[in-house]
Amino acid sequence: MTVKRSSAAGVCWTLLMGCVFAAHAVTFEVTDGNSTCIKADLNASFSITYNTTNGTSAARFALPSAAAEGNGSSCGGAGVPPELLVSFGAGHALTLLFSRDRRLYRVANISLQYNLSDTSTFPQSSSTVLMTVMTNATEISARLNSTYRCVSSSTVSLSAEVNLTFSDVRMEAYMSGANLSTDESVCSADQTVTTAAPTQSPRTTTAPSPVPPPAPERGNYTLTNRNGTACLLALMGLQLNITHRSKSLNQMVSEVVNLQPNRTTASGSCGFTVATLVLTEDLTNLTFTFTLNSTTQKYYLSAVNVSAFWPDMTDRFVEGNGSLNFLQCSVGRSYMCSAEQTLSIVPSFSINTFRLQLQPFNVTASRFSAVEECRVDQENMLIPIIVGVALAGLVLIVLIAYLIGRKRTHAGYQTI
Ligand SMILES: *[C@@H]1O[C@H](CO)[C@@H](O)[C@H](O)[C@H]1NC(C)=O
Ligand SMILES: *[C@@H]1O[C@H](CO)[C@@H](O)[C@H](O)[C@H]1NC(C)=O
Ligand SMILES: *[C@@H]1O[C@H](CO)[C@@H](O)[C@H](O)[C@H]1NC(C)=O
Ligand SMILES: *[C@@H]1O[C@H](CO)[C@@H](O)[C@H](O)[C@H]1NC(C)=O
Ligand SMILES: *[C@@H]1O[C@H](CO)[C@@H](O)[C@H](O)[C@H]1NC(C)=O
Ligand SMILES: *[C@@H]1O[C@H](CO)[C@@H](O)[C@H](O)[C@H]1NC(C)=O
Ligand SMILES: *[C@@H]1O[C@H](CO)[C@@H](O)[C@H](O)[C@H]1NC(C)=O
Ligand SMILES: *[C@@H]1O[C@H](CO)[C@@H](O)[C@H](O)[C@H]1NC(C)=O
Ligand SMILES: *[C@@H]1O[C@H](CO)[C@@H](O)[C@H](O)[C@H]1NC(C)=O
Ligand SMILES: *[C@@H]1O[C@H](CO)[C@@H](O)[C@H](O)[C@H]1NC(C)=O
Ligand SMILES: *[C@@H]1O[C@H](CO)[C@@H](O)[C@H](O)[C@H]1NC(C)=O
Ligand SMILES: *[C@@H]1O[C@H](CO)[C@@H](O)[C@H](O)[C@H]1NC(C)=O
């Protein structure tokens, strides 16, 4: 097991641009033999209050780029979780302990050991002991085989005296390759740019809610006519998956972000053969165009356009496709798909839909008309039916076999 570390600072001098975030990020790599299990690129700063000879004082310092190699790091195995231990300064150490389940991995525990006898960090400290504080209330989690990414800063309280602030984090544990996955789990703080200032109560972490995009919340998007009657109804959870060049990684990444109904406004227009629904979030504009084919008496999603400028994008992402044929449904009906569906718009952009029901034409009384279900839902319904029929058949066969058997034995008795 070895730990390698390197500082991004050197790279920054040569790159000069795009290093605003990476200025103090330090990279760590935990390997076992020649396979890498943890890679972490992070920026950490500490705020520690301690007792001095005449009161209390606060020490604030960042994880130095010269952080020494940790000797307690390990890839774990056989019930032992992987661990990243970073030691720095005069006897200080930061430890991240990981855990995983079938789908996610997370930082299960963060601990900090700090040495109050280090007078350059803790001048006039009245104590010289080695303190250890820890928390297992961390919100850092990501899908397996994806990189946890959180450019925004988040503060974790390790004790009443110690706060730890992470920013510009990119890390992965339980790695399946030697490099960070290009698939990313983006923390929720990064998903909305108007990052809420960390003004929450002291003990709770500002930490983003679980990162692996959970199923998105279901939005209720309705368009109304001039006379105030609803003309387009849509209930759906939307998850956008955009492949773009990451500003901080300088490589292509697939970023998956949920549209938050809360922060989304719906606009657009209803027509007899064309309806558009425009969803606007802080950093994302999304336009759906529905077309009604009066020959076939079917409507369908014919075009999708997106314009997004997310924090880690080098440029505004603008894409669209005007020759789609998704979500086809008979006119006068509403289209429903409870199962997750992926709409591939262009190679670099897809939308995952969840619990979707929509009707862009012929809405009466502001209510959905009779439902036409997507094939996945129909198949999902079919499975229990098939199983039921199969079971009934089996019961019948057993019953017949039993009756025949009984008759035979009866016949046997009679001949004797
Ligand atoms: C790992 O190291 C062993 C020997 O140390 C070598 O045989 C093997 O090819 C290496 N595997 C990889 C993926 O580099
Ligand atoms: C600092 O001093 C106060 C009172 O003097 C004491 O209650 C507290 O435990 C001390 N804190 C530490 C970290 O030693
Ligand atoms: C504690 O004493 C030091 C020097 O003795 C002084 O610089 C510092 O301001 C004092 N702090 C407080 C809180 O009185
Ligand atoms: C994690 O936190 C819970 C509740 O705060 C506590 O009961 C538990 O002992 C902690 N576990 C570890 C390993 O620290
Ligand atoms: C992660 O990747 C490894 C190797 O590619 C694979 O065996 C494993 O099933 C993947 N895990 C998940 C949850 O996708
Ligand atoms: C830790 O953060 C909380 C909330 O932001 C703050 O109230 C507290 O004073 C901080 N403590 C230290 C030691 O910085
Ligand atoms: C959606 O919103 C409309 C009005 O804005 C409301 O009448 C309707 O009940 C809502 N539908 C659901 C499923 O919440
Ligand atoms: C107003 O609503 C009625 C009944 O829903 C509809 O027939 C009519 O076309 C609407 N008027 C306009 C201007 O959209
Ligand atoms: C996002 O898109 C990429 C590239 O098409 C794909 O590999 C990845 O599985 C998608 N992720 C999700 C959660 O849809
Ligand atoms: C957004 O949703 C969250 C929880 O889902 C809720 O706490 C918050 O009040 C909502 N904000 C607005 C502006 O509706
Ligand atoms: C409607 O559908 C028919 C049959 O698929 C097709 O030939 C026709 O071009 C479509 N009309 C429009 C306006 O798209
Ligand atoms: C979304 O559209 C509005 C209005 O056209 C525009 O001001 C904004 O810049 C757009 N946002 C994105 C991310 O493209």
pLDDT digits over 168-212, tens only? 999 999 998 888 998 888 887 777 543 333 333 333 232 333 355
pLDDT tens digits, residue range 243-284? 998 888 888 889 999 999 988 999 999 988 999 999 999 899
3-state secondary structure of 189: helix
Distance 145 CA to ligand 5 centre (A): 6
Report whether residue 32 contacts ligand 6, using a CB cutoff of 6 Å.
no
> How remote is the CA of residue 309 from the centroid of ligand 12, in Å?
9
Whole-model pTM above 0.95?
Answer: no
Q: Are residues 183 and 228 in the same domain?
A: no
Same domain? For 155 and 240 the reply is no
| Helix or strand run (H / E) with residue 295 | none
| pLDDT, tens digit, 9 for 90 and up, residues 7-57 | 443 333 333 333 333 346 788 888 888 788 999 998 999 999 999 988 999
CA of 220 to the centre of ligand 7 (A): 6
Structurally, the chain folds into a number of domains equal to: 2
Identify whether residues 179 and 286 lie together within a single domain. Answer: no
Query: Is the CB of residue 306 less than 8 Å from the CB of residue 320?
Result: yes
Report the percent of the chain where pLDDT is more than 90. Answer: 52
| 407 domain-assigned | no
**Residues 298, 367 share a domain:** yes
Q: What is the C-alpha to C-alpha distance for residues 208 and 336, in angstroms, rounded to an integer?
A: 32
Nearest residue by C-alpha to atom 10 in ligand 12: 285
380 falls within a domain: no
| Alpha-carbon 37 to chain mean position | 21
| DSSP class per residue in 124-141 | TBS--PEEEEEES----E
**Has residue 410 got a pLDDT over 90?**
no
Q: Is the CB of 364 under 6 A from ligand 7?
A: no
User: The tokens of 143 are what?
Assistant: 């899908």
SS3 content of the chain, % helix, strand, coil (to 5): 15, 50, 35
Residue 139 pLDDT? 83
Distance 168 CA to ligand 3 centre (A): 35
Q: Looking at the structure, tell me whether residues 23 and 124 fall in a common domain.
A: yes
Q: Outline where DSSP puts E strands in 70-211.
A: 83-88, 92-100, 104-115, 130-135, 141-143, 147-150, 154-157, 162-173, 183-186
How far is the centre of ligand 8, averaged over its atoms, from the C-alpha of 227 (Å)? Answer: 6
Same-domain check for residues 247 and 351 = yes
Atom of ligand 8 nearest to the CA of 364: 5
Mean pLDDT throughout 286-303? 95
Mean predicted lDDT score pLDDT of the chain: 84
Would the pLDDT of 327 be above 80?
yes
**Ligand 1 centroid vs 265 CA: distance in angstroms?**
54
More confident residue, 416 or 42: 42
Same domain, 331 and 230: yes
Average pLDDT over every residue of 126-131 = 92
Confidence (pLDDT) at 40 = 92
Domain membership of residue 276 as a residue range: 219-375
Report the percent of the chain where pLDDT is more than 70.
87
Q: Which residues surround ligand 5 with Cβ inside 6 Å?
A: 144-145, 176
Residues 33 and 160 in one domain: yes
51 ligand 2 Cβ < 6 A = yes
Specify the residue with its C-alpha closest to ligand 8, atom 5: 229
Does residue 328 line the site of ligand 11, with CB under 6 A? no
Q: Is residue 391 in some structural domain? A: no
Q: What is the pLDDT of residue 284?
A: 94
For atom 6 of ligand 4, the residue with the nearest CA is 136
